[in-house]
Amino acid sequence: MQGADPREQLCGTRNASALILAAGASTRFGEPKQFLQFEGETLLRRVAKAAHEAGCAPIVVVAGDSADRVSAEVHDLPVHVVQNVEWRCGIGTSIKCGLAHMRHVVSAILVLACDQPFVSLEIIGKLRDEDRPIVASDYAETVGIPALFANS
């Protein structure tokens, strides 16, 4: 359809809040992956933009000890950055922290990692189109995030 908003075609039938995990230190990698450049922007910014373009709201980004740098990176996007003071205790603490800061949750929560540069509007739309209470991504011989969890 000419002139149609692509979000109306790709975002699926469910509204979703987005929880972006960006608290890790990337110690095995040697530097924080969330700030690596890919095609002219950081990995964190790419994922946050994809969530925004897909119409996710609210969007919560969970940061570790680099919360100020994370905030600066997404300052012009409609995201809420929260700091997980327990980030060293694992990904579960970041999920818990992010969920605690969501003002409202719509039909579902989309959990995203900040270090997945190929997450796009189309991928988010496919997750939202699935008529299941939990939808996970299947890649590289594993199942994981991005994943969508319905309110139910």
pLDDT on residue 93: 93
In tens, the pLDDT along 65-92 reads 888 999 999 999 999 999 999 988 888 9
Instruction: Give the confidence band of 15 by pLDDT, cuts at 50, 70, 90.
Output: confident
CATH classification (class only), 6-131 = alpha beta
In tens, the pLDDT along 16-73 reads 999 999 987 655 555 677 888 899 999 999 999 999 999 999 999 999 988 899 999 9
pLDDT on residue 29: 58
DSSP secondary structure string for all residues of the chain: -TT--HHHHHS-SS-EEEEEEE----TTTTS-GGG-EETTEEHHHHHHHHHHHTT--SEEEEESTTHHHHHHHTTTSS-EEEE-TTGGG-HHHHHHHHHHT-S---SEEEEEETT-TT--HHHHHHHHHS-SSEEEEEETTEEEEEEEEE--
What pTM was computed for the model?
A: 0.85
pLDDT on residue 33: 78
